[in-house]
Chain A
Amino acid sequence: MGLGFRTLLYKELLRFWKVGFQTVAAPVLTAMLYLLIFSHVLEAHVKVYDEIAYTAFLVPGLIMMSVLQNAFANSSSSLIQSKVTGNIIFVLLPPLSYREFFAAYVLASVGRGLVVGGGVWLVTLWFVDLHYSHPLWILAFAILGGMMMGALGMVAGIWADKFDQLAAFQNFIIMPLTFLSGVFYSIHSLPEFWQGVSHWNPVFYLIDGFRYGFFGRGDVSPWLGLGVVALCTALFSVVTLYVLQRGYKLRG
C-alpha cells in the first residue's frame, strides 16, 4: 500500500477530526446521557452476574456501542456526502486501487470508532472503577467491531443515493441491532426465545466479547464471539470489495 492509500487514510481521519465537536464530542455526550439516566434508574435494582454493579456493567456496552455507531457513521457519511456533493471524483480520478480505497475508508472508520470509544471510556472513569481482566480481548473486539461497521458503512454509503436512504439504513438496521444486542442488559435476563434471537445478532457477540475483556465473564465464550465477528467482518468486507471492484454506483 503506497502513498496514495496513506493519503486517503489521512484525509479521511482529518475529515472527522476537523469537525470533532460533531463527530467526537457529540457521541461522547450522548453516551454520557445514557449512562446518567440508566444508571440512575437501575443502579439500585439490577446486579448482573450477581456481583457486577449495573453502572460498571453498562459502561463497556456504551463504549462498544459508540465504537460501532461511529465507525459506521464515518465511512457511510463520508461516502454519501462525497457522492451528493460530487467531490467523490477527487478520489476516483487518482490511481488508487479498489483495495486501497477499501482499506483507507475502513481504517479511518476504526480510527473514529476508537477515538470516540476512547472518549467515552475517559469520561466514564469518573463514574466507575473498571477492571481490565483481558486487555487484548478488549482491543481485539474494538478493532474488529470498527472494521465490521466500517465495511458495512461503506456498502450503505455506496448504495444510498440520498441522505434519507442512509438514515433509514441507520435507523432500521444499525440502531435495532445495537440496542437489542445487550448494551443495556445481559441477554440472560431475557426470555428464552429472545435469548435465541439475540444469538443471530452479530453485534451481540461484539458487546459480549468486549465486556468479557473487562469482567472476565460473558454470556458466551469470547472465542465463539471472535469467530462470529471475524466471519461477519470478512463477509461484509468481501461484499464491499466486490461492490468497489465492479464500480457499482461509483463508476457508472
Chain B
Amino acid sequence: MAAAIHINQLCKTYGKLQALRSVDLDIQQGEFFGLLGPNGAGKTTLISTLAGLTRADSGSASILGFDVQRDYREARRQLGVVPQELVFDPFFTVRELLRIQSGYFGIRRNDDWIDEVLANLDLTDKADTNMRKLSGGMKRRVLVAQALVHRPPVIVLDEPTAGVDVELRQTLWRFVRDLNQQGHTVVLTTHYLEEAENLCGRIAMLKQGRIVALDTTSNLLSQFSRQTLKLRLRDGAQLPPALAARGQMTPSGAFSIALNDLDEVESVLHVLHEAGARVEDMELAKPDLEEVFVSVMHEAG
C-alpha cells in the first residue's frame, strides 16, 4: 500500500533562507497527522511543495504513490488543501464557486456532494450568497468546502483555525474527524497545540526546515513531559526546605512540583505532613504538548 504522503530528502531555498533542509517523512493512509513548528519553520513550504504550488530544489514528494511533479495530475486529484490565508474569489456565490472548483477537477454535476459538504459545514443557507458578503469565519468554511469538492483521499489543513470562533472550530473538527474515520488521511498544521494533542495520532515538529521530532502523540507526551503536582497550602505557607528546591511558585501563590512518576505523590505529601503544612487545594496536571513542544524546540537549538 502506497504511503499517503512520501517525502524524500526535500530541499528548498529562497535566496539565503533554507526553508527545507533534506526533509524525509512518510505519512500512512488513514493517519491524522500533525505538523507543528514555529512560524518560518517550513510547514507551509512543505505543504506548498506537496500541492505543486512550490517546486523543490531537490528531493521528491508523492501523494499515494503519484509524484507531485511527474504525475502532477493524479497527485493533485488525491490532495485537498485548505490554505492558511483567507483567500476568496469575489465574483461568485458559494455554490458557483464550488461548482467551478469541481469542474477544474473534471467533475460534472457534483451538487449532491456539494450539498453534503455545505450541510456539514453549516453553510447550506449561504449557498447562494456572494463570497464578498460572507464573514471571515464563513469564508474559512468555504475554503474547507473548496478543498473537499473532489473528495480527496488526502486532506491538508494549513492552520485552519487561526482566528476562528469556538463554534466553527467544533464544527470543523467534527467534520474532519468524520472524514478521517471514513478513511481520509488528514494532515494538520496549527499553533493550537491542544488541538493537535486531541486530534493527531502522530506528530512531526519542524524547526528551521528540519524535522526535530517525529513520533506518536502519546510517545512524545510520555517521553518529554513529566506529570506535575500543583499545590496550594493553607494560610499562605511556604514549601518545607526538603521540597523548596523542587517546587516552583506560580503567580497565584500555588506551587508546582515536577514528578518523575506518580509514586512520588505519596512522598511529597508525607514531607508536607511532617512539616506541618496543610494542603488547601491539590491537582495533578498531565503532561501537555505545549511542554513537549517547548522542550523539543529548545533542545534542537
Chain A residues packing against B (C-beta within 8 Å): 2-4, 6-8, 10-11, 14-15, 18-19, 82, 85-87, 89-97, 247, 251-252
Task: Indicate if the CB atoms of A90 and B89 lie closer than 8 Å.
Answer: yes
A17 nearest CB neighbor, chain B only: B91
Closest 6 CB pairs of A and B: A7-B103, A94-B104, A86-B87, A95-B73, A95-B76, A3-B106
B14 cross-chain contacts in A, Cβ below 8 A: 252
Whether B74 sits at the interface, judged by CB under 8 Å, is: yes
Scoring A3, A7, A8 by chain B CB atoms within 10 A of each residue's CB, the highest score goes to A7
Whether B70 sits at the interface, judged by CB under 8 Å, is: no
Task: Indicate if the CB atoms of A11 and B73 lie closer than 8 Å.
Answer: no
Chain B residues packing against A (C-beta within 8 Å): 14, 48, 51-55, 72-74, 76-77, 79, 81, 83, 85, 87-92, 96, 100-101, 103-108, 146
A89 nearest CB neighbor, chain B only: B83
Cα–Cα, bound, A247→B146 (Å): 23
For the complex with contacts A85-B89, A90-B101, A252-B54, 8 further pairs of A-B residues with Cβ separation under 8 Å are A8-B104, A10-B100, A87-B87, A92-B51, A92-B52, A94-B101, A95-B77, A97-B73
Knowing A7-B100, A94-B101, A251-B53, the reply to whether A89 touches B106 (Cβ < 8 A) is no
B48 nearest CB neighbor, chain A only: A252
Task: Indicate if the CB atoms of A4 and B52 lie closer than 8 Å.
Answer: no
A252 cross-chain contacts in B, Cβ below 8 A: 14, 48, 53-55
How near does chain B come to A178, taking the closest CB pair, in angstroms? 27
B77 nearest CB neighbor, chain A only: A95
A251 cross-chain contacts in B, Cβ below 8 A: 52-55
Cα–Cα, bound, A91→B97 (Å): 12
Task: Indicate if the CB atoms of A10 and B53 lie closer than 8 Å.
Answer: no
Task: Indicate if the CB atoms of A93 and B53 lie closer than 8 Å.
Answer: yes
Cα–Cα, bound, A11→B85 (Å): 22
Cα–Cα, bound, A14→B103 (Å): 14
B92 cross-chain contacts in A, Cβ below 8 A: 14, 18
How near does chain A come to B154, taking the closest CB pair, in angstroms? 13
Cα–Cα, bound, A92→B91 (Å): 18
Task: Indicate if the CB atoms of A7 and B54 lie closer than 8 Å.
Answer: no
Task: Indicate if the CB atoms of B104 and A92 lie closer than 8 Å.
Answer: no
Cα–Cα, bound, A1→B83 (Å): 28
Task: Indicate if the CB atoms of A4 and B104 lie closer than 8 Å.
Answer: yes
B12 nearest CB neighbor, chain A only: A252
Cα–Cα, bound, A53→B283 (Å): 96
Cα–Cα, bound, A90→B74 (Å): 17
Task: Indicate if the CB atoms of B55 and A94 lie closer than 8 Å.
Answer: no
Cα–Cα, bound, A18→B83 (Å): 26
Cα–Cα, bound, A85→B77 (Å): 24
Cα–Cα, bound, A169→B48 (Å): 30
Task: Indicate if the CB atoms of B52 and A93 lie closer than 8 Å.
Answer: yes
B107 cross-chain contacts in A, Cβ below 8 A: 3
Scoring B76, B92, B104, B105 by chain A CB atoms within 10 A of each residue's CB, the highest score goes to B104
Task: Indicate if the CB atoms of B91 and A3 lie closer than 8 Å.
Answer: no
Name 15 interchain pairs, CB-CB below 8 A, sorted by A: A2-B106, A3-B107, A4-B105, A6-B103, A11-B100, A18-B92, A85-B90, A86-B83, A92-B51, A92-B53, A93-B52, A93-B53, A94-B76, A95-B77, A95-B104
B99 nearest CB neighbor, chain A only: A7
A97 cross-chain contacts in B, Cβ below 8 A: 73
Cα–Cα, bound, A112→B72 (Å): 31
Knowing A86-B87, A87-B88, the reply to whether A3 touches B54 (Cβ < 8 A) is no
A85 cross-chain contacts in B, Cβ below 8 A: 87-90
B74 cross-chain contacts in A, Cβ below 8 A: 95
Cα–Cα, bound, A8→B101 (Å): 9
A3 cross-chain contacts in B, Cβ below 8 A: 103, 106-108
Task: Indicate if the CB atoms of B53 and A89 lie closer than 8 Å.
Answer: yes
Task: Indicate if the CB atoms of A18 and B91 lie closer than 8 Å.
Answer: yes
B77 cross-chain contacts in A, Cβ below 8 A: 95
B53 cross-chain contacts in A, Cβ below 8 A: 89, 92-93, 251-252
